[in-house]
């Protein structure tokens, strides 16, 4: 990572390097041990994670989508499913420990030669790609992004068909505990009202090109990039 990497990015990277196993365990497939309060937060978070997972995979099942960038791929649950769907996948993450888990998950899955994948440890905003991809998946990514306009402008260059992204909602009962948890762990967190989201899309010229599904904790957003 180069010298221009911001303080925010360094904090997100070190947060996710330390949180990789705990985050992976929220999906419920590992026997990693968690405290009682964390378990409760995980249970509530798991519901929205599974909803956004389903919404994304329903859309990538489209045979017109041949290649997918998984931006902030984390522990690789999406990567494995994209591969099962036969896609060409570019998996990008800042955190080395997340990529280690993702690679292990892909290697342990019997894919019978389906799909192909490349892993990249990088800040998405700082990497220039040699080719475009049909789609991009940014789940649980905008939560940590200070300048979402820059990401959306870059996606316009990198992606030709569809973008699927989650945006964390600023309202709701549990938001205070999330804000406190992240503050205590020195990880930046950026939240959105529906109005914030609409203003953001307008600012980057994507008005009328997106649909929003309210998943309660998150907004699931599909953007038409064609």
Ligand X SMILES: C[S@@+](CC[C@H](N)C(=O)[O-])C[C@H]1O[C@@H](n2cnc3c(N)ncnc32)[C@H](O)[C@@H]1O
Kindly state whether residue 125 participates in binding ligand X, applying the rule CB under 6 A.
Answer: yes
Kindly state whether residue 154 participates in binding ligand X, applying the rule CB under 6 A.
Answer: no
Kindly state whether residue 215 participates in binding ligand X, applying the rule CB under 6 A.
Answer: no
Please state, in angstroms and rounded to a whole number, the distance separating the CA atoms of residues 168 and 184: 19
User: In 3-state terms, what secondary structure has residue 135?
Assistant: strand
Residue with smaller CB distance to ligand X, 12 or 197: 12
- Scanning 40-48, 68-76, 104-112, 171-179 for contacts with ligand X by CB under 6 A, the matching segment is 68-76
Using CB under 6 A as the binding rule, the residues of this chain from 7 to 66 that contact ligand X are 9, 12, 16, 23
Determine which residue in the list 115, 140, 148, 168 makes contact with ligand X, applying CB under 6 A.
Answer: 140
Residue whose C-beta lies closest to ligand X: 74
Kindly state whether residue 168 participates in binding ligand X, applying the rule CB under 6 A.
Answer: no
Rounded alpha-carbon distances, angstroms, from residue 186 to 36, 139, 202 = 22, 21, 31
Please state, in angstroms and rounded to a whole number, the distance separating the CA atoms of residues 86 and 214: 29
Kindly state whether residue 119 participates in binding ligand X, applying the rule CB under 6 A.
Answer: no
Determine which residue in the list 141, 142, 164, 219 makes contact with ligand X, applying CB under 6 A.
Answer: 141
- C-beta separation of 216 from 172 below 8 A: yes
Rounded alpha-carbon distances, angstroms, from residue 105 to 45, 100, 101, 199, 207 = 21, 9, 6, 38, 37
- Scanning 81-89, 136-144, 153-161, 216-224 for contacts with ligand X by CB under 6 A, the matching segment is 136-144
Rounded alpha-carbon distances, angstroms, from residue 70 to 38, 57, 93, 214 = 26, 12, 9, 22
Kindly state whether residue 218 participates in binding ligand X, applying the rule CB under 6 A.
Answer: no
Element holding 219 (H helix, E strand): strand 218-224
Structure token pair of residue 107: 């290697």
DSSP 11: H
Please state, in angstroms and rounded to a whole number, the distance separating the CA atoms of residues 78 and 183: 28
Residue with smaller CB distance to ligand X, 21 or 160: 21
**Nearest distance in Å: CB 75, ligand X:** 6
Say how many residues make up the chain: 226
Determine which residue in the list 55, 68, 74, 134 makes contact with ligand X, applying CB under 6 A.
Answer: 74
Residue with smaller CB distance to ligand X, 61 or 207: 61
User: How many residues bind ligand X, per CB under 6 A?
Assistant: 21
- Provide the binding-site residues for ligand X, judged by CB under 6 A: 9, 12, 16, 23, 72-74, 77-78, 92-95, 98, 123-125, 139-141, 144
């Amino acid at each position: 990572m180069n010298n221009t990497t911001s303080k925010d990015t360094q904090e997100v990277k070190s947060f996710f390097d330390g949180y990789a196993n705990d985050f992976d365990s929220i999906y419920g497939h590992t026997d990693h041990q968690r405290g009682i309060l964390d378990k409760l937060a995980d249970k509530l978070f798991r519901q929205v994670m599974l909803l956004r997972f389903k919404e994304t995979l329903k859309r990538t099942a489209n045979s017109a989508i041949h290649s997918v960038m998984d931006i902030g791929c984390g522990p690789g649950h999406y990567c494995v499913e994209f591969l099962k769907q036969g896609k060409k996948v570019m998996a990008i993450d800042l955190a080395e420990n997340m990529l280690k888990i993702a690679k292990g998950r892909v290697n342990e899955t019997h894919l019978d030669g389906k799909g192909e994948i490349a892993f990249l440890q990088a800040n998405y905003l700082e990497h220039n790609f040699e080719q475009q991809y049909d789609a991009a998946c940014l789940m649980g990514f905008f939560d940590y992004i200070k300048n979402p306009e820059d990401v959306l402008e870059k996606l316009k260059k990198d992606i030709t068909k569809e973008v699927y992204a989650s945006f964390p909602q600023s309202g709701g009962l549990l938001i205070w505990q999330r804000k406190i948890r992240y503050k205590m762990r020195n990880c930046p967190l950026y939240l959105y009202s529906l109005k914030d989201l609409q203003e953001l899309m307008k600012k980057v010229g994507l008005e009328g090109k997106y649909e929003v599904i309210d998943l309660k904790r998150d907004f699931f957003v599909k953007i038409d990039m064609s």
